[in-house]
Structure 1
Amino acid sequence: MHTMWKGTISFGLVNIPVKMHAATENKDIKLRQLHKECQSPIKYERTCPNCDREVKNDEIVKAYEYAKDKFVILDDEDLEALRKEQGDKSVEIMDFVKLEEIDPIYFEKTYFLSPNEGGGKAYGLLRSALKDTSKIGIAKMIIRSKEQLAVIRVYKNTLVVETIHYPDEVRQVKDVPNVPEETKTEKKELDTAKMLIEQLTAEFDPEKYTDDYRTALLELIEAKKNNEDVVIGESKPKPDNVTNLMDALEASLDKAKKNKPKPVKPKAAKPKKASTKKKSG
């Protein structure tokens, strides 16, 4: 399992060297976009609308748009000064709370924690303490150059880090449009709804829930492959240096022939006229 962060988790004077690994993965089926005419993959290029040309990576800078079309440029030195070291960052648990006190809307992404060298005993200590007290730890940590508020808890037999949103990142429910105020509900309707909920109540078993759309899409793709209902994108032919060189030479030769000035033929000498004067006697 790929290690994406190394650091130390601490509570009180106990330090636990740990490694962090992504606990989830995105299994969305990625579809490419092709040119309908020739089935070639579409390329996306970064262009400058003002200069009307493609922009290379070393020509791009980062900036914050504080008003429309008004930017504050932040260079690498500015950002590096603010960026904290992530490799050996110590994460201190600030508080311990009950898991049920945090609404699920705050939770963002989950990471597994494994003990780094020499951290097995302290890892087990924190795991046992969290289990016995039914508490979770609240900490701050840097992940991918961003300071995250995080929860440290036990999942099965493993410590996990659960990044959570800051309060100002969760939108206010009062801004949600068309939410009705308290409505009058008929007792019979309410009792029937409760009965339906009771009948559909079961223990949560994640294994029984599957992504039916993804499964159907994979089956469709496989069927098309087996029926050889596939297309091969046309690739742009690579220039043949030999042919191009010959073409260039021949074109140059033709051009040279056309532009070459025609040789001027020398004019024939006019014959001398015979003299008509008589010699004197």
Structure 2
Amino acid sequence: MRSIWNGAISFGLVSIPIKLVNATESHSISFRQVHTEDNGRIRYRKFCELEDREVTQSEIGKGYEDADGTIVPITDDDLSHLPIPTARTIEIVAFVPAERIDPLQMDAAYYLAASGAPAAKPYTLLREALKRSHKVAIAKYALRGRERLGMLRVVGDAIAMHGLLWPDEVRAPEGIAPDTAVTVRDKELDLADALMATLGEVDLEDLHDEYRQALEDVIAAKAAGETPPETPSSTSAGKVLDLMAALEKSVRAAKESRGETAEAEITPLPSKKRTPKKTTAKKTTAKKTTAKKATTKSTTTKKPTTAKTTTAAKKTPPRKRPA
């Protein structure tokens, strides 16, 4: 792989010579601009305003336009000698847990390749240190005319670097959420849980670009003079469906796509937070307990009365018979 930048990783006093290599590649199908009448290529030519003539790429440089319109020429040599330590260095400034990085900040991805045999030992040292710490390194570097943030992490046996946007480059999500207050019912959440469980997980290696495949089929058909295949139009686009019905239908469709038998009724997954209340059982038990107490109290009350009567009868002296 061709390197796009050469420099070094600064890890304290340790310097690791590296080459920056693109970690991703685009498989998108590109088109040319053509004249619709005869399919002639449309090309852009670069002209110098002062000389009014076309110039070659070797004659084109960089320049900064000042407020009054004056052009200040900037050469590659000027950029390579900027008075900052990150001009040719990826300077590690901190180590943090990966969870601290907001995915919204993630930008382009690169591989950092060790440059030469002397770089092998310090490169391996940094890689193993990252592995053992379970952290990522935050670094600053300069690329394409500006200083950037980067995140270094281990991928296999290599060190990868993700370009990061500066925090002030990430917009706050103000005005994005719905303005109107919406209440989501428990049953709707249960159905959403059931749909998530039915869809389950997926191996990203199994996913592919269906749009690119369809586009290749269209190009192949037109090149062979055949009629391109048509995609059936979607009838559900733009329609506002009943949420419960849509969720139930989605669960059934997901089960059928996995070869499972769709049940007549969708049974929502039990929720940990929503437990059935046992109020009725408690009330019935309470009533029975109260009844028992009342019966016991009544029996206890009667016993002393009987006892008193019996005692009184026993204590009454017998009457004397007349002589």
Same fold (TM over 0.5): yes
1:11-45: CA deviation from partner (whole Å, max 9, x where unpaired): 22322211111011122111112212222111224
Cα separation, 2, equivalents of 1:61 and 1:18: 27
The question of 1:173 aligning with 2:165 is answered no
- Give, in angstroms, the shift of residue 109 of structure 1: 0.5
Cα separation, 1, equivalents of 2:128 and 2:62: 48
Q: Report the TM-score, using the length of structure 2 for normalisation.
A: 0.60
Cα separation, 1, equivalents of 2:91 and 2:62: 34
Structure 2 residue matching 1:8: 3-state secondary structure: strand
- Give, in angstroms, the shift of residue 187 of structure 1: 1.2
- Give, in angstroms, the shift of residue 179 of structure 1: 3.4
2:189 corresponds to: 190
1:212-232: CA deviation from partner (whole Å, max 9, x where unpaired): 111111122223334499xxx
User: 8 Å contact 2:80–2:88 — kept in the other structure?
Assistant: no
1:71-102: CA deviation from partner (whole Å, max 9, x where unpaired): 4633226x864554699823221000111111
1:197-226: CA deviation from partner (whole Å, max 9, x where unpaired): 1222315x2211111111111122223334
Structure 2 residue matching 1:172: 3-state secondary structure: coil
Q: Which runs of 5+ in 1 are unaligned?
A: 230-281
1:73 corresponds to: 71
Structure 2 residue matching 1:6: 3-state secondary structure: strand
Cα separation, 2, equivalents of 1:94 and 1:60: 33
Ranked by relative contact order (alpha carbons within 8 Å, sequence separation 6 or more), the top structure is 1
User: 8 Å contact 2:79–2:145 — kept in the other structure?
Assistant: no
1:220 corresponds to: 218
Aligned length: 222
Identity level (%):
34
User: 8 Å contact 2:66–2:72 — kept in the other structure?
Assistant: no
Cα separation, 2, equivalents of 1:152 and 1:16: 13
2:257 corresponds to: none
Cα separation, 1, equivalents of 2:142 and 2:61: 25
Q: Report the TM-score, using the length of structure 1 for normalisation.
A: 0.68
1:36 corresponds to: 36
- Give, in angstroms, the shift of residue 115 of structure 1: 0.9
Cα separation, 1, equivalents of 2:162 and 2:180: 34
User: 8 Å contact 1:111–1:161 — kept in the other structure?
Assistant: yes
CA 1:183–1:228: 2 relative to 1, 3 Å:
closer
RMSD across aligned positions (CA): 3.2
Cα separation, 2, equivalents of 1:223 and 1:65: 53
Name the structure with the higher helix share.
2
CA 1:197–1:2: 2 relative to 1, 3 Å:
same
